[in-house]
Structure formats: C-alpha cells, structure tokens
Structure 1
Amino acid sequence: MINVFQPELRERELAAVAEVFDSNWVGKGSRTAEFEAAFAGHLGVAAERVMSVNSCTEGLFIAAALSGAGPGDEVVLPTVSFVGAGNAVASLGATPVFCDVDPRTLNPTLDDVTAVVTPRTKAMILLHYGGHPGAVAEIAEFCRERGIFLIEDAACAVASTVDGRACGVFGDVGVWSFDAMKIVVAGDGGMLTARDPDLVARARKLAYFGLEQFSGFSQAKQYDTRWWEFQVSSFSRRSIMNDILSAIGLVQLDRLAEFVSRRGAITARYDRALADVDGLRLPPPLPAGHSSSHYLYWVQMDPAIRDGVAHDLYERGVYTTFRYAALHQVAAYGSRARLPKAERAVAETLCLPLHQSLSEEDVDQVTAELRAAIHRRSPDLAGRAR
C-alpha cells in the first residue's frame, strides 16, 4: 500500500535515541532544551519564547487557555480544522464559531473571518491548510486591530513562510506537531511559541500541573529548606516532552530542508502528471512571497465520483484520505452554521499520498491509478486514462 503519510526514520535517529539511553536519563532534560533552542532558531525567534509540549493538541489546549476565553465568549476557527482545535475551545466553555473557507485552498479568507466576528469574539484559531500559509498576514493584522487573540495551528506548516517570516509567529501563540504523520516526526510531541514572554511563562506552568517555582533552592542553587514543597496556580495537566522524542526531533529538524525539497519535487511531479485530466482540479498556485511545507496534496473532482475514486484507488494499493472533516457538521459542537464553500470542498476533495519516502515510481503509480479511476467512474467528465 502506498500510504498518504509515512515517516522517514533512519540510522541517525536510532543513534540519537541510543545516546539518550546511554545517558541513563530519558525524561525531559538536556536533549529537550536543545530541541527547543534549535526550533527557536528555525523560527527565527528568541529561545525563551519557545517551549515543547507532548502533543500539538495539548499545545492547542494550553493556547486556548492563555487566550482567556470562557463561557460567554466566542472563538472563531475555520470549519476545515483539526478536531483538537474544536475540543480545546469547547473544553473552556467558550463557543466555537466556525467560518467558511475558500473552496480551492481550504483556508479562510479575511472576508470569511470578518463575516462571523461579533463583539463576543475573544480569540481565533487559524489552520494553514496543507502547509499553504493562506491569508495569515491579513488575518493577523485584523485580529491585532480588534484585540482578538490569534492562535496559529501550524501543525501542517513547519516550514511554511510569508515573505520569509515563519508561519506560527504571526499571531499571539503558535503550535506545531511532531506526531507520526507530520513532516518532522518524533513519534509524538509538539512546540509552542508566544509573542509575549509572560504568556510563555504561564504556558510553562500550565504544561506542568500549574506548579509554581519550587522554593527549596535559591537562585544560586544552594539548599534552602524543604525543596519538595510547591504551590499550584492552576488545575492543569502534565504536558511535557521527553529526551527520547527530542533526540529524534533534533535529527529530523536537521533534515527538514531535505524533506521539504523532496516533497516539493513530488508536488511538482503531481502537477505535471495531472494537469490535463479533465474534471480534476489541482491545488492552486501559491501567492507571491508564500512558501509551503507541502504537507498535503489535494485534488478536487465531482462529488458524485469522489468516494468511488477513493475506493478504487484503495483496491489498487493507493491509500487516500480527506483532511479535515468540517467541524460545523459535528453534532457535539452544536453549530447550526451553513458554510456552502466548505461543504462543497469537503465533498469534492481527496488527499493523495505525499511524503518524502515516495519514489518517482510510486508517484507515477498514484497518478496512473487516479486517471484510470476517474475514467472508470465518470468517462463523460474525464479524459482517457493514459
């Protein structure tokens, strides 16, 4: 089976884990601090503004708490978003308000956002669909002007930029993912950055039980008294990363440019091979000044054949999917929104395999099988399979 997502873990990652084992410390320690500093350098921000978490979802929960949203407040997010973002909002007692998205990019436009903002809007969570930055610069400026706390879910956008500026640093807080299906894979884990150092300090407490600084040791690390005593400032969870994951993440981060280059080459090969398939729409080109992490490659077709095409591809050894389900259609969130552009995109879109381990033969097989499936399912809409 040709998978949609697949990590590339090799001898360097294994050797890095072995070093952690040899150190006899596998919890949060020096490797995690090194990974945080390296990721800050990747983003171009000060190291003290970056902290690791045990997952991007936990980062979203922490970020949502930092926004101050609660009962009576609204938090805007595009309906094509990861379920963790919706859960983070709902967990606070705030109301998730879903906005529409552009049917081709699956990112919200500024108009989509402004259409649902009200005086009760406290915050927004913005996803960069498939690694494409979208209108992040314009939306960030709008949020600053309105006093809306902006959280960037940059899980798909670890190497995406706008005019050289990294996605994830436009808003008040940004979060990233290193789970098994991302570009930088550590097995799990994530990062969080914040514009305000005070927010980072609060985030560190939220990530570790809400514990205040242990008071048993002085700044000079000299013994004082009862070093095991502590105070609790919030009832939060344990959300920290460890040195095993960080050791893998450090190697993967060092290989990131190589990964993104390969994914870009695969994207270009898809573009060339599928450009002449009737009835098939490819991802739109990036605006000037934007760069993508090439996390997803999505195609769009008549919704009457989309599911059948996915089934045919699966039977022929090509796994496809759609990311992400429209959250306004999830009953648990209680939304009554009608978002026609997103609903159209959700029905038409299919994500093809895209990862750095794909060979050119794999890509050619995917495109050949996709052509054949479209031809079988709708010969009146598609060109002949070649």
Structure 2
Amino acid sequence: MAENTAKGGDMIDFSRPVLGDPELNAVAEVFSSGTVGYRGQSRRFEEQFARHLGVPHEHVIFLNSATSGTFLALELLGAAEGDEIVMPSLSFVAGPNATLSRGARPVFCEVDPHSLNPTVRDVERVVTPRTKAVLVLHYGGYPGDIADLADFCARRGIALVEDAACAVASTVGGQAVGTFGDMGVWSFDTMKIMVTGDGGMLYVRDPELARRARRLVYHGLAQACDGFSAPAWQNWTFEQWEIGYRLVGNDLTAAIGSVQLDRLPGLVSRRAELVRLYDSELSGADGVRLPPPLPEGHRSSYYLYWVQVDRAIRDEVARALYTAGIQTNFRYGPLHTVPAYGPVPRLPVSERAAEETLCLPLHPGLTDDDVRTVAGRLRKTVLSLLPSL
C-alpha cells in the first residue's frame, strides 16, 4: 500500500496525514496478539513518547484524546466553583468546556497580534486572586513565551497547563514544550502532525498526581496503577479507590502512534522545508504579512502556516483560493465571542487578528510546486483586491 499523501482530487488539501504500510503492519501485529485494549503496546507507546519528551515514563499516560486530558488536568488541579482558568481567546473549545464542567469560569486573555500566542503581560492583565490555573495553547506549533509564563505562574503560585496539541516536536532551549508547566496534553487526531485517528497524551509533573491520573483514566481502580492484589486466579476482584472514567487509549491506536513517532523527525523536517519555501515565495508580497521568525532557542513543529491580510478582504481571499482549488482555514476562532462562554469583555486584538489571519495548506503530502501554486495564487488574489480597500 502506498503512503496516503496524495491530494484529494484536484484540490490542494489544507491537511492530510501520512499513513502507509508500516502503520498497517503494526496494527496487524496487535490483531495477531489477541489483545487490542489498553495493554502492552499502549504502555510501550507511553514509554516511547516519554523518551521523546525527556521525562520519566510513569508521568505520561496514553488517552483517547487530548480533550480528555484537558478535562482530567482541571480535575487533578481541583478546579471548582469560584475558580478562574485563564486562557487565550484564540484557542480550542476544549479549554473552556473543561473549565465549565468543573463549575469554574474561563477568563480569556489577549494574544500577540502576529504570533497569536499570549505573552506574560497578556496573562498578567487578567489574573486575579481567584485564578487557579493558566491554560496556554502553543499556536501553530510555535512555542511562544512558555519559559517566561512558567516562571510567572510559579512565582504567583498558579498552576500551568500546556495545550501542546499542535506542538508535538516543539522545544525551547532543548526542553520539550508541554513539560514546562504542571501538566501538558498532546493530540494525535486526524488533522495533527502525528496521527492515530483519535488519541492523545497527558503529562503530569507531580508523581502523586500522575498516579492518581492513571487511576482516574481507568475507572478509579487501584489496579490501574498497582496491579491486582488478589491471586492471579481471582482476577475478578476490584479495588475501587475513587470514581473514575474510561479515558485510556488502546493498543491499536498506540501501534499506529509508535510508527508515527518514528516518522516524526522526517514529518517535521518536511514541514520546515515547506515553511521556508512559503517564506521565500511570499517574501515582499504586497498586503501579506508572514508569521514572525522563531526566537533564538525555539524550535517549532510547524503545524500551521498563517498569513495576515487586511480583514476587509480576508474572507474574499479564502473564497478565491477555494475556487482555484486551494483549501485554507482559520484556527482558532475567538472563544470570547462564543455565547455559551459569555458575556465576557471584548478583546480587540484577538478579534482583529482573527479577522486578518488565514492558514494555508501545510502537510508533507504537498509538493514544492503545490506551495508555489498556493503562494502565487495568494499574491495575485491579494494584489487584485487591494485597490478596493
């Protein structure tokens, strides 16, 4: 079976995973083992991912999604009614949904208008004595001011949870993004860099909280951490320590994840090549602003490549590119404008950035010619629309 990297029809896809025979063979091995639940392959994937992060494997848990990890993180922190969870407005709905599920209140902060990541100053402006935690997204795989944010939260006694869903290979000063805070989550859904279909990973820094997390993801049973205390022939005995959930991944998706993790350096390397080509092809383009350069010591996963154009023409640019066979997107819309989370104060910087930003196709299945086509069409479209402003 050839790798699944081709474009869908004549459309240049916004996103497409790289999957092929190695993943199929890994799944076949799990089938032949006779166990497909959360067993040995899942634990091996956890250990492999922990080595990738540079953390002890006991602190890493394979889940059915990063969203489950976000919900669990806030439970582990004891978020409750009266608490506030600070997060950037340009983020995913999992954060505020998890916050509201605990009876806490999401508090949205501004972001840098070009990197789309929050700065320490953005966070500090909305922190109050009720702030329980900061939940920060690494936009597009770019790490942002995570080291400074971690220092700020530590000084203020505020927990830090990292949504590293887009940042599976991002580092600052050689340290993996997602490990700067108290907890981190990664996503392996079908649109991410590493793909298992559905799946995610949770990192918990504190050893006792990590043990509790492992119990909670498997019904609150003691044997999730400690194994059975009953004789082997009496494995129907359960030791229920607390009320838990069923959030674990499984050996089928873990097998795919292990292969994808082996592929990861090549996937990120190709994404970096495409980003450099976009930068070159769009350099000096009238009316088009490119992503900011990475600070020294920062390494990105290059999940998204975004440009910014005048907000009066952004939607028309997206429409014209789609008509020309090019899928674009914008991730993520401003959460503070969602009625379910309001009413909340306006955030004009985030609102303007959301209206100006467009994410271009970026995945290893793109050819260099694809990128040149996208860049050329974008240049022409923006140039044609500028006189109307």
- TM-score of Structure 1 vs Structure 2, range by shorter chain: over 0.9
Asked whether 1:118 is paired with 2:128, we answer: yes
1:376 and 2:384 matched: yes
Cα distance change on mapping 1:216 and 1:70 into 2, 3 Å: closer
Shift of 1:226: 6.8
Offset, 1:336? 1.8
Question: Residue 253 of structure 1 corresponds to which residue in structure 2?
Answer: 261
Secondary structure, aligned partner of 1:208: coil
Structure 1 residue 336 corresponds to structure 2 residue 344: yes
Residue 185, structure 1, aligned to residue 218, structure 2: no
Q: Which residue of 1 aligns with 2:8?
A: none
* SS of residue in 1 equivalent to 2:61: strand
Q: Is the 8 A contact 1:216 1:225 kept in 2?
A: no
Please list the CA deviations of residues 36-79 of structure 1 after superposition, one character each: whole Å capped at 9, or x if unmatched.
00000000011111111100000100011111111001010011
Confirm whether residue 53 of structure 1 aligns to residue 63 of structure 2. Answer: yes
- The question of 1:285 aligning with 2:293 is answered yes
Deviation for aligned residue 1:229:
3.0
Q: CA deviation at 1:339?
A: 1.1
Cα distance in 2 for partners of 1:280, 1:217 equals: 60
- The answer as to whether partners of 1:216 and 1:226 remain within 8 angstroms in 2 is no
TM-score after normalising by structure 1: 0.95
- SS of alignment partner, residue 3 of structure 1: coil
Letter of the aligned partner of 2:116 in structure 1?
Answer: L
- Match of 2:252, SS state, is helix
Mapped to 2, the partners of 1:89 and 1:111 lie a distance apart of: 22
Determine if contact 1:36/1:51 at 8 Å carries over to the other structure. yes
Shift in alpha-carbon separation, 1:216–1:34, aligned structure 2, 3 A: closer
Distance 1:228 1:222 in 2: 9
Q: In 2, Cα distance between the equivalents of 1:365 and 1:20?
A: 42
Match status 1:230 vs 2:239: yes
Determine the C-alpha separation between the residues in 1 that align with 2:174 and 2:78: 30
Q: What are the superposed Cα offsets for residues 313-354 of structure 1, whole Å, 9 maximum, x if unpaired?
A: 111110001000111111101242221111110010000001
CA distance in 1: counterparts of 2:319 and 2:352, whole angstroms:
20
Cα deviation for residue 231 of structure 1 reads: 1.7
| Cα-to-partner distance string for 1:128-160 (whole Å, 9 max, x where unaligned) | 000110010001111111111110000010000
CA RMSD of aligned residues (A): 1.6
Q: 1:108 aligns with which of 118, 131, 153?
A: 118
Match of 2:274 among 258, 266, 291: 266
- Structure 1 residue 232: deviation in Å? 4.6
Q: CA deviation at 1:241?
A: 0.3
Name the SS of the counterpart of 2:201 in structure 1. Answer: strand
Q: Which amino acid aligns with 1:164?
A: G
Counting only pairs closer than 5 Å after superposition, residues 312-327 of structure 1 correspond to structure 2 as 312-327=320-335
Q: Which runs of 5+ in 2 are unaligned?
A: 1-10
Give the TM-score normalised by structure 2. Answer: 0.94
Q: Structure 1: 5+ residue runs without aligned partners?
A: 382-386
Q: Equivalents in 2 of 1:379, 1:281: separation in Å?
A: 17
Q: State the match for 1:384 in structure 2.
A: none
Instruction: Give, in whole Å, the separation in 1 of the partners of 2:232 and 2:57.
Output: 28
Q: Is this contact kept in 1: 2:86–2:134, CA < 8 A?
A: yes
CA 1:22–1:335: 2 relative to 1, 3 Å: same
Specify the alignment match of 2:89 in structure 1.
79
Deviation at 1:216, TM superposition (A): 9.4
